[in-house]
Amino acid sequence: MPMVTSRSPGLRLPAAPTAPPRPLPLRRHWVELEGLSLGPWASQRRKELLELLDGLRPRIAELDQAVQTEAERRPEAVELMKHKGVGPVTALAFVLTVGPVERFANSRKLVSYLGLNPGEDSSGGHQRLGHISKQGNEMLRWLLVEAGHSAAQFDPELRRKYQRLVFRRGRNVAKVALARHLTVRLYWTLRQASSATLPAHTPGSPR
């Protein structure tokens, strides 16, 4: 569960709901941890940490619900959540970080703003793409990497792109490339939504 903040205007935390059952993946890992053969002191430490994590579940559920409510309140975030792999946390973080999408002339500007653009090394007539710049919001960049990887499980185009890049450049480069591709999709989703809400110009009205 990534860290979320309640500092944005209008984001009010609801009363803590009853803690839900552990998600299946977490439950599986929980059993694996409990099944490890450890010494007495390590076993005691494991028990304490698992109890601590268990006690955090109501707070995590509370924050999840707050983010979900705020995302559903914002039309832009609702549009972004229509993309596979993009949930309330990623959609809300994208909208709050990017702000009015019109301030970016094109998707390349936004990709650069988020630090997902690869560096470029040109020598001897050859162009080589290097590491990403990593400027901008680190949390949103991480969310986009995770969302892109998740989207590839449902989107055949992204899956093929990911598999090709894993073979040629490795898993980490492939994940960042998917995040960059997803960012471009989200950019155009916001641009189209923004254009659809612009008031129609009538003869004689000021532009």
Quote the DSSP letter at residue 81: T
Cβ atoms of residues 2 and 139 within 8 Å: yes
pLDDT digits over 68-121, tens only?
999 999 999 999 999 999 999 999 999 999 999 999 999 999 999 999 887 554
The segments of the chain whose pLDDT lies below 70 read 1-30, 119-134, 197-207
Q: What angle do CA 148, 161, 119 make, to 5 degrees?
A: 75
Query: Which residues is 118 bridged to in the sheet?
Result: 132
How far apart are the C-alpha atoms of 184 and 178, rounded to whole Å? 10
Nearest C-alpha neighbor of 180 from the set 81, 77, 100, 172: 172
Q: Which two tokens stand for residue 133?
A: 């710049």
Cβ atoms of residues 46 and 56 within 8 Å: no
Residue 24 is predicted with a pLDDT of 43
Residue 199 is predicted with a pLDDT of 53
Q: Which two tokens stand for residue 207?
A: 């532009």
- Alpha helices by DSSP H, the chain: 24-35, 40-73, 75-80, 88-98, 107-113, 138-151, 156-169, 171-197
Quote the DSSP letter at residue 17: P
Supply the Cα-derived Rg of the chain in whole angstroms: 21
Q: Which two tokens stand for residue 17?
A: 């709901």
CA distances from 77 to 14, 83, 142, 149, 186 (A): 20, 11, 18, 19, 10
Residue 43 is predicted with a pLDDT of 87
SS3 3: coil
